[in-house]
Amino acid sequence: IAGPILHHKEMMPHFEEPQTYRLNAENVVVGLTIFFIGLFKKTVIADGVAANAAPLFVHPGTPDLFAAWGGALAYTFQLYFDFSGYSDMAIGLSRVFGVKLPLNFDSPYKAVNIIDFWRRWHMTLSRFLRDYLYVSLGGNRKGRSRRYVNLFVTMLLGGLWHGAGWTFVLWGGLHGVYLIVNHAWRALRERLGGQDVDRTTRTGRALARLTTFVAVVVGWVFFRATSLEDALAILRGMAGQNGMSLPASLATYLGPARAVLERLGLAFHLGGGAHFVFQYLWLAALLPLAMLAPNTQEILGRFQPALSFRASDAPARLAWRPTARWAAMAAVVAACGLLSLTRVSEFLYYQF
């Protein structure tokens, strides 16, 4: 399993402590719980939603609005639960043996801006890029313009880290532009005396989170697409340039609204009704799970599951405890994860 990117200085102290070499019941229980949550995220959620993402990127064609957004969102959640799932497995297995790995994900789709996103997504890679590329290029020590150049170059190289293809370069460059705009906007707000998004209203935070999420989804289209042409075709569909279409089997459930929707440009096509329904049911379930629910480390927060872990603000009722109720829930999660291993699947992020 390819887990978080590790620093020598944060790992070696573990091996200098005598208790690391003694089996500890708490470490075993906490570690196995984290491992099986990760396994569930990978084999049940990520592999389950994968079938709703693959068709769009394998044969994009000219997707309409619903097909383009459905496939792009499915991949967005597939990638997150796949990668965070096996990061959890690595963290959990290490914890069984008394070793704490650094946190690698912190609910990235809850981010309120792109800066926040990169503090939550693949956190050890973000740290690596910052320490060995951004700082080496000069960081923010040589003025604002040079800082923006350094950000852009760092993210371009971060794109190449994932693969030697133009789609990865564009993905990295796009996030470089995102970061530049984010830093410039933050500087402007400070100059004008505006509030930071962390201190704004709940509505403002929700809009910031939604804007960030949409920007990230657009980036994932380049990341997943096999060519620039395919990525642009999908983005055109997401922008509504290929129209809107629903399966004809759903038309009977719309009643009088069908005529109104048709006047607005909605078309109906034969077939695909079951796929459409299941795809959007998956998305309806995963959207609140990724954007509202506490993550693995927050649930296990009382036991400091990883290095650099921040205090959890998760509700107390969702905090894991060594009780019979939580043991039963963990057993169900473990069983579902293990039984789902019968399906052929791959770790999406392993190749990167």
pLDDT, one tens digit per residue, over 290-341 is 999 999 999 998 888 888 776 655 566 788 888 999 999 999 999 999 999 8
Residue 324 lies in a domain: yes
Residue 232 lies in a domain: yes
Residues 158 and 230 in one domain: yes
pLDDT of 313 reads 58
Residues 296 and 218 in one domain: no
Q: Are 311 and 294 in contact (CB under 8 A)?
A: no
Residues 74 and 112 in one domain: no
Q: Kindly give the parts of the chain with pLDDT less than 50.
A: 1
**Position 10: which residue type?**
E
CA dihedral 256, 62, 286, 83 (to 10 degrees): 180
Boundary-marking domain end, from 199, 220, 242 = 242
Residue 318, φ and ψ in degrees, nearest 5: -100, 5
**Position 170: which residue type?**
L
Residues 37 and 117 in one domain: no
Task: Quote the CA–CA distance of 107 and 288 in Å, as a whole number.
Answer: 11
Beta-bridged to residue 266, according to DSSP, are 244
pLDDT of 6 reads 85
Residues 16 and 132 in one domain: no
Residue 264 lies in a domain: no
pLDDT of 345 reads 74
End-to-end distance of the chain based on CA atoms, in angstroms?
A: 12
- pLDDT digits 0-9 by tens, 103-135: 999 999 999 999 999 999 999 999 999 999 999
Residue 250 lies in a domain: no
Residues in the chain: 352
162 half-sphere exposure, CB direction, 13 A CA radius: 23
pTM here is 0.92
pLDDT of 199 reads 63
pLDDT of 1 reads 41
The whole domain housing 319 covers 1-105+275-352
Boundary-marking domain end, from 191, 217, 242 = 242
Residues 90 and 127 in one domain: no
Residue 251 lies in a domain: no
Residue 69 lies in a domain: yes
Task: Quote the CA–CA distance of 93 and 241 in Å, as a whole number.
Answer: 47
Residues 208 and 287 in one domain: no
Task: Quote the CA–CA distance of 56 and 71 in Å, as a whole number.
Answer: 6
Residue 254 lies in a domain: no
Boundary-marking domain end, from 222, 242, 262 = 242
Residues 154 and 72 in one domain: no
Q: How many domains does the chain have?
A: 2
**Position 80: which residue type?**
Y
Name the residues annotated as catalytic.
162
Residues 99 and 122 in one domain: no
Residues 99 and 113 in one domain: no
Closest alpha carbon to 221 in 184, 187, 178, 170:
170
Residues 173 and 210 in one domain: yes
Q: Are 242 and 65 in contact (CB under 8 A)?
A: yes
Task: Quote the CA–CA distance of 36 and 296 in Å, as a whole number.
Answer: 10
Residues 173 and 290 in one domain: no
